[in-house]
Chains A and B, each alone.
Chain A
Amino acid sequence: MGKPLSTLVFLLLFINCVYSWKKDEFRNCNQTPFCKRARSRKPGSCSLIAADVSISDGDLVAKLIPKESSQENPAKPLVLTISAYQDGVMRLKIDEDQTLAPPRKKRFEVPDVIVPEFLNKKLWLQRLKEERIEGGLVISSVVYLSEGYEGVIRHDPFEVFVRESGENGKKVLSLNSNGLFDFEQLKENKEDNEDWEEKFRTHTDKRPYGPQSISFDVSFYDADFPTKGPGVDDSEPYRLFNLDVFEYAHDSPFGLYGSVPFMTSHGKSRGSSGFFWLNAAEMQIDVFSPGWNNEYSSVLMLPTDQKRVDTLWMSEAGVVDAFFFIGPKPKDVVRQYTSVTGTSALPQSFAIAYHQCRWNYRDEEDVYNVDAKFDEHDIPYDVLWLDIEHTDGKRYFTWDKMLFPNPEEMQNKLAAKGRRMVTIVDPHIKRDESYYIHKEASEKGYYVKDSSGKDFDGWCWSGSSSYIDMVNPEIRSWWAEKFSYENYVGSTPSLYIWNDMNEPSVFNGPEVSMPRDALHHGDVEHRELHNAYGYYFHMATAEGLVKRNDGKDRPFVLSRAFFPGSQRYGAVWTGDNSADWDHLRVSVPMTLTLGLTGISFSGADIGGFFGNPDTELLVRWYQLGAYYPFFRGHAHHDTKRREPWLFGERNTELMREAIHIRYMLLPYFYTLFREANATGIPVIRPLWMEFPSDEKTFSNDEAFMVGNGLLVQGIYTQRAKHVSVYLPGDESWYDMKSGSAYKGRAIHKLEALEDSIPSFQRAGTIIPRKDRFRRSSTQMEYDPYTLVIALNSSKSAEGELYVDDGKTFEFQQGSYIHRRFTFSNGRLTSSNAGPATAGDHKYVSECTVERIILLGLSTQPKTALIEPENRKVDITWGPLLLRGGPGPSVLTIRKPNVRIADDWTIQIL
């Protein structure tokens, strides 16, 4: 997943090194005809012009026709539509003209990704303004987009762009400025000596519809981070093609498990913008180095007064359905993008705690032992996972009767301690007539078909297998039923699901996946929807978990494959990583990048899936992983056991403390997950998202923000003595462990401590914690809170706390507590940040605040007064962290015991 999606600021350097992954088994651009064709085109070679530009049904419509079409072979025009949506989103669609001679086949448009609410936000375009730009030579049509922004289509040659309002408004984003647009229309028949078949290694792709690719260039303006990405000739483009890659390289632009064709650009002067192409076929994206097109500059007439990054987008099939996001703040772009594809689902509270996984916890006894060891060592965990070996011969929804004779009893025993279990359910179905899933699916014709129309038969864990055709809503609904307690024998309400191998992984298929000419519902070829297959599978599974409790409980489903919109259905992880420091390091840009594409709930396997981490690496991984939105330890079955207590007392203690940090911060994390659910803004964020005008943050992807209040810097090297951390912004930062203040806008060289990685609370924020530790998050429900107030230079701070039942969908009816805490003029105020009246659906909590820690107060008050109760409480010196030995003393309001549900103020006397 290195770059299933790209954000300009996060491109990594490409180092030529020997990878363990089997490069030869995967196609490069040169072996991919559409990619090779697109890359060989010269800037300015697109000769299409926009004609018949008009307004129709609130959209701008036009026809794209070749400037000089030959008489004997008149080209069919393309239909172009531009529409505007609220909050700064412009949508551009280009497709073949369906009104002409009935096409052989309708090109595929990806269904069920755009959320219905988005379509309701459409602005009804009414007025078209014509203007002559570039000295009156070129005619353009202009439409209103949003306050201060316009959408423009230049007629000849055609170019579409967003600019700041006014004839001389600066460009923000543009398409086809380099004239690389190309749209291969479907042909009726093969021409002479044309060979549509493609061969790769032993696999033949029949390609019955011939070439149908689309490519175009997109330019981002005023971007400060033009990349060190690959050059045109000697390097590979970013490949967006969902693949199961064995032992993937940490530094390759190659395709991995998931794809989100969305790119964000950011620059200091203007801010951020974004471009998203909704297309599920294989995509390749080039990011050009500045000056790449110098020799064509006379043909192109590109503006010279603006910095620009050019990119080339190539897809094997589908239509152009592209979205331009105008920003201008980084958070605006995420918000705009998630207004199209949806925001992250709010997970149940257990799901954001610690998960323990291994391929495989062998049997019930093993499960009980691991569970008991966590308690014995006072290490909290919430979920224990079972990988593929728990099944009867890799028949999902079944249990190996020898190893797991009493699955319900097992789940119930763990549930009695507030713990859940997760089992794996993959999309490959064993072709075994006695297996009910296979029997039903083959009888009902629910499998993906091969190019000859028979059920596709591929090889996966279950041996000879077929794959459920998840693109069909009827089949998804059938699949969802399989998760009911009656159907999934041995499942209980505390059992949740893990979807693996849903790229889909097909061991004997081309590039370890499904042949592109396999057929889905409605005669859609697999090539057209490949990248979305795993998404539909994830969706169907999540719907199953919702259905089994009559829509009451929130589902939890982890998926390996993902696509735009996956955030609505659950968590994803970065797949089969390796136990080395490079993979620890790259987990941060990977999860940050996922967050920028709206997929907030993600993480990497703690410890690294393949190989044995040395103890120091494992400890560092726990210390970093405690801040991943999705926090799970996992390991390959060839590796040594690595549960946190197996490495001696000191290391057990270190890992326990790392996990405790996460549990302590759960109220803060949950509040952030709610923010992601409400606005799309991710839980962990690149520094530049919080500090968009601080250039030093732009290329920093080794530190990250958790919400707006915590900065975390990983330690990525062995036996590190020191670690440098850049603290952005003008305000100070408070070391989370020592409470010491550090200046902002400075690099600090710190001693690398064994027991923690550097983490800082930003001055001006208030972070809610729960300092009591329990076996699992379930038992923390009634525990009191601690508020940590870090005052800024004007002695003020603010923060939020969101609480609900942590389980059901009641919060959607307003059943929650959402507080805003503000501190200024020596007064801490708690006020309602949610809707004024919650009506019938009121979430009730007796929870109180037991401790308020004040960082950065220059006076030393002794008492505080609580209003409206008019009660006085002590201010004393107390520890900043209750664990980890005697630490520094900080000013602490002792036992204010105010309820979090109430309005109150606390005045420092």
Chain B
Amino acid sequence: MKFFGLLDLLLFGCFILLIHGITESAASSPLKDPLLGVSPEDENYFKGFSTSSMIKCKDGSKKFNKSQLNDDFCDCSDGSDEPGTSACPNGKFYCKNAGHSPLILYSSRVNDGICDCCDGSDEYDGKTKCLNTCWEAGKTARDKLKKKIATYVEGVTLRRQEIEKAKLAIAKEEGELSKLKDEEKILKPLVEKLKERKEQIEKVEEEERLRIEKEENKKKEAEEAEKKETKAEDIEHAHDDIQDNIGTVDQPPQNYEEEYRKAVNDHSIKDRLPNTEAEGSIEGSLQADEQLEEGSTFSDSTGLHTENQDENIGEDTESLSREELGRRIASRWTGEKTDQHEEVDASSPDKDHQNTDELSNETNYDEEDNAYTSEEDEHKFDDDDDDDSKDQVDDFGTDDHYNPTPSQKLDSDDESDFSDISGTSGSSWLEKIQKTVKTMLDAVKLFQTPVNISDAAHVRKEYDESSAKLSKIQSRISSLTKKLNQDLGPEKEFYSFYGQCFETKQNKYVYKVCPFKQATQVEGYSTTRLGSWEKFEDSYRVMQFLNGDKCWNGPDRSMKVKLRCGLKNELTDVDEPSRCEYMALLATPALCVDSRLKELQDKLDSLNKQLPQLHDEL
């Protein structure tokens, strides 16, 4: 083979001499190896020259002869005649890199003075000397790969365990769900019957009440006719009448509750206002105006100011101090709010506390510290899920990040107190209730007038209790259904993420990622929502959170959490590559997939296979 190559070279050299009769000028140094830069897959393509003097460019656009192969002139626009030179901008150069992995370069890297291949084969024009570093580079790469494989080996086991656990838990929950559904099926008609009975009783009671009232009225009228003289008595009687009327109404007036709430609120507003003012700084009411105006700017979705607002700003700047004016004008470019906007809600007391916090969080972006600082480390956010980004898995253990709370149970409504109806005693409880209701329904004589008061109370109590239980069952059903309907991964490997949050602290912020729920950024007491759960993306390698709090002069916040294989769930490297678009890494065993482990092992095998060869060459 090697001998054959040499022969080729001689022929090639002769060809040039025949055609030009004169040696080439310095720029196109004839290649020692005419097949330089040819990848193993392409060797067959160039064997075409052993049977024919011309071969076609790969794209079929043209034909070229052997002297045109690697002659430093681009004949094929796809670069197929120049695998070893920089002549074709579309070409690719293959370097063997014995001892390390082969590399395919853009032709633009050939003889450009920069060593790209660890074997130095891309720089052969004599202008640049490249050392062969493949052995060291290969060793480092292999060591790294080995480490990564070790992580994967362990991770794959953890992942399997997780999946097993998830399967059991899901089965259990599914069991619970179907049982609850059964119970619901039984309980629902009972509650309905009770409700019906309760209403019947109430109807009877109402009729009874009306009858009595009527009788009393009659009686009253009769009495009235008799005693017309004493005014005082009259009045007193009327008073009684009203009292009675009130007594018969067993519901408070419909609006009462609402009115009450309002009244309380009014009261609390009054309480709060002086407070809010006290919190405010000296600038006083001017700021309130400013804030209102700034507030309207927040909602300006175009990001550009409209004329009207500008005029407002324009008028207002007249009354600002020099420094405030400076900050104000600067904020046009920066999009930052100036200090005075920290006390936000003085003029809008109806906003809840949470909102206030979020706003002030947005506003107290300090002039000097606004440069978003991320902790330094080697992690990168690669858009492509290429080897490099996967390689990062090794580094997770060594990071000295803020010690993240590994996981946190999420206290959410769906974990509400459920002890009284769940558990093994469920069926016996249900039987009991069935029995009671039956007895009760049988016992209460509907058409008996007046209704037996203790019976009625019994029915009411029983109805209240069982309907409460029904609604608990229903809410549990809905939360279980919600959970089981989530996309928990093809193998339910993300089951344990449900109801969990992952935290990491970077500088002054704590980032909190709650899969299937939301992502937030917490600073002190203020919380900014970075997004609500949207979905997994990119074959379950990315979690996406969308529609977070709006950015001033920008989009709604959003977050992407890239998942990597790691031995424990660990959130790191929150970053904001574009304003208000966050990214983070989450290491988790859930990503330690068998197939990837095999790929890595294969890669290591193939690297190792090259080693003896390298030894020969050394």
Contact = CB atoms under 8 A, between A and B. Distances in A.
A871 B22 contact: yes
B252 interface: no
Contacts of A869: 22
Contact of B25 (A403, A610, A897): A897
Interface in A338-385: 360, 362-366, 369, 378, 380
Contact of A660 (B24, B89, B553, B579): B89
Contacts of B577: 366, 641
Given A508-B322, A638-B554, A871-B22, A405 B87 contact: no
B90 interface: yes
A771 B310 contact: no
A638 B371 contact: no
A246 B305 CA distance: 10
Contacts of A611: 303-304
Contact of B581 (A394, A459, A640, A784): A640
A878 B25 CA distance: 22
A871 B20 contact: yes
A879 B20 CA distance: 23
B236 interface: no
Contact of B372 (A25, A362, A871, A879): A362
Contact of B27 (A19, A389, A846, A871): A846
Contacts of A403: 371, 373
B355 interface: no
B578 A640 contact: yes
B325 to A, nearest CB: 4
A246 B325 contact: no
Nearest to A388: B371
Nearest to B367: A463
Nearest to A505: B329
Contacts of A459: 322-323, 325-327, 329-330
Interface string B293-324: 00000000001111100110110011110111
Given A508-B329, A639-B579, A378 B376 contact: no
Given A365-B380, A897-B25, A20 B371 contact: no
A66 B325 CA distance: 47
A400 interface: yes
A461 B305 contact: no
Nearest to A400: B371
Contacts of A782: 27, 127
Interface range, A side: 35 or more
Interface on chain B toward A: helix, strand, loop, or mixed SS?
loop
Contacts of B313: 22
Nearest to B86: A772
Contact of B371 (A247, A362, A897): A362
B333 A636 contact: yes
A420 B97 CA distance: 30
A461 B336 CA distance: 12
Q: Most B CB atoms within 10 A — which of A201, A416, A507, A636?
A: A507
Contacts of B334: 637
A803 to B, nearest CB: 15
Interface stretch (B71-79, B191-199, B409-417): B71-79
Given A773-B89, A775-B112, A871-B22, A464 B332 contact: no
B45 interface: no
Contacts of A307: none
A27 interface: no
Q: Most B CB atoms within 10 A — which of A247, A508, A773, A873?
A: A508
Contacts of B555: 640
Given A18-B307, A895-B28, A899-B25, A882 B74 contact: yes
Contact of A775 (B75, B108, B303): B108
A693 interface: no
A106 interface: no
Contact of B108 (A362, A365, A378): A378
Interface range, B side: 35 or more
Nearest to A609: B333
A883 B108 CA distance: 13
Interface on chain A toward B: helix, strand, loop, or mixed SS?
loop
B27 A897 contact: yes
A24 interface: yes
A512 B554 CA distance: 24
B335 interface: yes
A894 interface: yes
B26 interface: yes
B118 to A, nearest CB: 16
Interface string A413-446: 0001110000000000000000000000000000
Interface string A638-657: 11110001100000000000
A101 interface: no
B17 to A, nearest CB: 13
B6 interface: no
B579 A886 contact: no
Contacts of B371: 360, 362, 389, 400, 403
A202 interface: yes
B310 A20 contact: yes
Nearest to A21: B310
B514 interface: no
B330 A461 contact: yes
A851 interface: yes
B250 to A, nearest CB: 60
B120 to A, nearest CB: 16
A771 B113 CA distance: 18
Contacts of B314: 22, 24-25
Interface string B51-62: 000000001010
10 contacts: A20-B304, A20-B306, A20-B310, A369-B381, A402-B376, A463-B368, A508-B322, A578-B304, A782-B127, A869-B22
What 6 A-B pairs come out closest when comparing CB atoms?
A459-B326, A508-B326, A507-B329, A779-B112, A508-B325, A507-B326
Given A782-B27, A847-B27, A883-B90, 7 more contacts: A18-B307, A459-B326, A576-B333, A771-B89, A772-B86, A775-B108, A879-B77
